[in-house]
Amino acid sequence: MATPAEFLLSAVEPAQFPPEGLPEVAFLGRSNVGKSTLLNVLTGRKLAFTSSTPGRTQAVNFFRVQDRLIFADLPGYGFAKAPKSVSRGWQGVIDAYLLRRESLALCMLLLDARRGWMDSDLQLKQWLEYHQRPYAVVATKVDKLNQKEKNASQKAIREHYESGDLIWFSGLSGQGVKEIWQTIWKKTGQ
Ligand SMILES: Nc1nc2c(ncn2[C@@H]2O[C@H](COP(=O)(O)OP(=O)(O)OP(=O)(O)O)[C@@H](O)[C@H]2O)c(=O)[nH]1
Ligand SMILES: [Mg+2]
């Protein structure tokens, strides 16, 4: 079922971020991990651009959801093909967002279930912990794994993340959507 949600704006620098207000959920992860797809599946709408070309989302895109939440779709990191100056520019926006956004209530840290933690993911995780930003981990593209591979992936992810929320998600089947919504409501205090 579609959730009332609308695109608010696209910001390439902090001055363009919308005013703080509603609790915000940010979607973070490497390029191509499925951030925009997750956002679309959660809202049941094609609000965010998705693409098989990594680096599709190059700005922070804000969406208002049910008049109760803001979703922020962030540019992916770890996209080696982006020119250095461009990737540094994105990094600056992400840093500014994560450091200063007071209404940020929850970060969804997405990992490709086939790859688990990559160095850049672990760096982000450490950063979130250092700055005491609440986060939950979503393992994406679980439809690409069989049960044995999923068990191995779970074990590997848990090696660096013992007990926090870990949700298995597939944009194809919709697996995990209910749990992700439950986590969002729980962590945004609604
Ligand atoms: N099989 C499968 N494919 C997925 C899933 N989620 C995303 N994809 C595909 O992976 C590609 C990247 O998805 P996006 O949602 O655009 O990824 P993103 O993280 O927003 O990427 P950037 O904006 O580049 O950072 C697209 O081709 C999607 O269709 C999933 O759960 N299962
Ligand atoms: Mg995207």
Length of the chain: 190
CA 50 to ligand 1 center in whole angstroms: 6
How do beta strands 60-65 and 69-73 pair? Answer: antiparallel
pTM: 0.92
The count of domains in the chain is: 1
Q: What is the pLDDT of residue 30?
A: 92
Q: What CA–CA distance (Å, rounded) separates 121 from 118?
A: 5
Q: Among residues of the chain, what percentage have pLDDT more than 90?
A: 71
How do beta strands 135-140 and 5-11 pair? Answer: unpaired
Q: What is the mean pLDDT of the chain?
A: 89
Domain that holds residue 11: 5-187
Say yes or no: CB of residue 173 within 6 Å of ligand 1.
no
Give every CB contact of residue 59 below 8 A, 6+ residues apart in sequence: 10, 11, 12, 75, 93
Say yes or no: CB of residue 68 within 6 Å of ligand 1.
no
Q: Does 96 have pLDDT greater than 60?
A: yes
Testing ligand 1's pocket by substitution, the residue of 37, 45, 108, 149 carrying the most ligand atoms inside 8 A of its CB is 37
Kindly report the CATH number assigned to the domain that includes residue 165: 3.40.50.300
* Range among 3-7, 87-91, 168-172 rated most confident: 168-172
Of ligand 1's atoms, which has the minimum distance to the CA of residue 140? 31
Averaged pLDDT, 112-139: 94
Q: Does 110 have pLDDT greater than 90?
A: yes
